Amino acid sequence: MPDARLRWKTRLFAAIVVLSNAFGNFSLKWGMDRQAALTLSPLDYIRAILSPWVMLGISLLILWLLTRMALLSWADLSYVLPVTSLGYVANALMGRFFLSEQITPQRWAGTLLIVGGTVLVGMGRPRTGTES
Amino acid sequence: MRAWFLLGLIVASSVASDLLQSREMKSHGEVRGFRWLGALTRKAGLILAVAFMAVSFFAFMALVQVADLSFAVPASAASLVFETVLARVVLKEQVDSRRWVGACLVASGVVLLAR
């Protein structure tokens, strides 16, 4: 497959992975905050899963999972992982701006370090091949 | 305490799930279209990967109830550090120095988030 097409396809899938993860987790958190505290009873989980926000969150996370698995079929795990963790950072931002979470300077610093790490890893080629 | 237990469960089961997914999807080859989804029901490794993912997910549902999203989600990135090491050791990927530095930065970030 031509390099340019692979790079374009990789970026498109990576963008879907990041966005579906951020919005999926946000929706899940929003829904779970409105549920009674979970116990070990499966009924608690079933009730929570059937609520609209949690269901939306799960649907987006299923999209995230399938897109990420597809990406893994041609890209290295050590490339896909940091792309996923970029989604973790988007989640921290959503927590701050949409859930009014208090984020200490230390937590922001941690988030920025994660961004730095992901950028470093993302600059490499997605498929390096394996050792023979 | 409950949050840390749940986080440990999430990290351990995601590491297992990701390694299995990468190995099985690579053995399948680059996907085109949607026919590859059938592999989800045929490959034992992928079924096991999904089971680990389910454990991780249910623990995550419980975690977001007791912790901030801005903690829960980035803290789960701790799995990346274990996975980079295992990608090198188990999957034999060539992890270059840039990726190692990146993984270390992510690890430091997670430590700061956890404090």
pLDDT 10s digits, B63-109: 999 998 888 887 887 787 888 889 889 888 888 888 889 889 988 98
Q: Residue B108: what pLDDT?
A: 92
Q: Residue B45 above 60 pLDDT?
A: yes
For residue B93, report the phi and psi dihedrals to the nearest 5 degrees: -75, 150
Indicate yes or no: CB of B22 within 8 angstroms of CB of A112: no
Mean pLDDT of A119-125: 67
Whether residue A13 lies inside any domain: the answer is: yes
User: What ranges do the domains of chain B cover?
Assistant: 2-114
Whether residue A129 lies inside any domain: the answer is: no
Indicate yes or no: CB of B61 within 8 angstroms of CB of A32: yes
From chain B, the residues in CB contact with A59 under 8 A are none
Query: Is the pTM for the entire model greater than 0.80?
Result: no
Whether residue A132 lies inside any domain: the answer is: no
Indicate yes or no: CB of B76 within 8 angstroms of CB of A88: yes
Q: Residue A107 above 90 pLDDT?
A: no
Question: For residue A74, what are its two tokens?
Answer: 């041609």
Q: Residue A131: what pLDDT?
A: 46
User: Given pLDDT bands bounded at 50, 70 and 90, which one contains residue B2?
Assistant: confident
Measure the CA–CA gap between A25 and A59, rounded to whole angstroms: 10
Whether residue A127 lies inside any domain: the answer is: no
Measure in Å the smallest separation between the Cα of A15 and chain B Cα atoms.
18
User: Given pLDDT bands bounded at 50, 70 and 90, which one contains residue A125?
Assistant: low
Nearest residue on chain A to B77, alpha-carbon basis: A85
User: Given pLDDT bands bounded at 50, 70 and 90, which one contains residue A56?
Assistant: very high
Tell which B residues from 42 to 101 touch A, by Cβ distance under 8 Å.
53, 57-58, 60-62, 64-65, 68-74, 76-77, 80, 83-84, 87-88, 91-96, 98-99, 101
Those residues with Cβ within 8 angstroms of residue A90's Cβ, 6 or more apart along the chain or in another chain: A18, A19, A21, A22
For residue A39, report the phi and psi dihedrals to the nearest 5 degrees: -110, -170
The ipTM of this complex is 0.72
User: Given pLDDT bands bounded at 50, 70 and 90, which one contains residue A12?
Assistant: very high
Q: Residue A132: what pLDDT?
A: 38
Domain hosting A64: range is 3-122
Whether residue A69 lies inside any domain: the answer is: yes
Mean pLDDT of all residues belonging to chain A: 83
Chain A with chain B: Cβ pairs closer than 8 A: 179
User: Given pLDDT bands bounded at 50, 70 and 90, which one contains residue A126?
Assistant: low
Whether residue A130 lies inside any domain: the answer is: no
The domain total for chain A is 1
* Percentage of residues of chain B with pLDDT beyond 90: 26
From chain A, the residues in CB contact with B99 under 8 A are 78, 120-121, 124
User: Given pLDDT bands bounded at 50, 70 and 90, which one contains residue A111?
Assistant: confident
Nearest Cα to A33, choosing from A60, A53, A55, A61?
A53
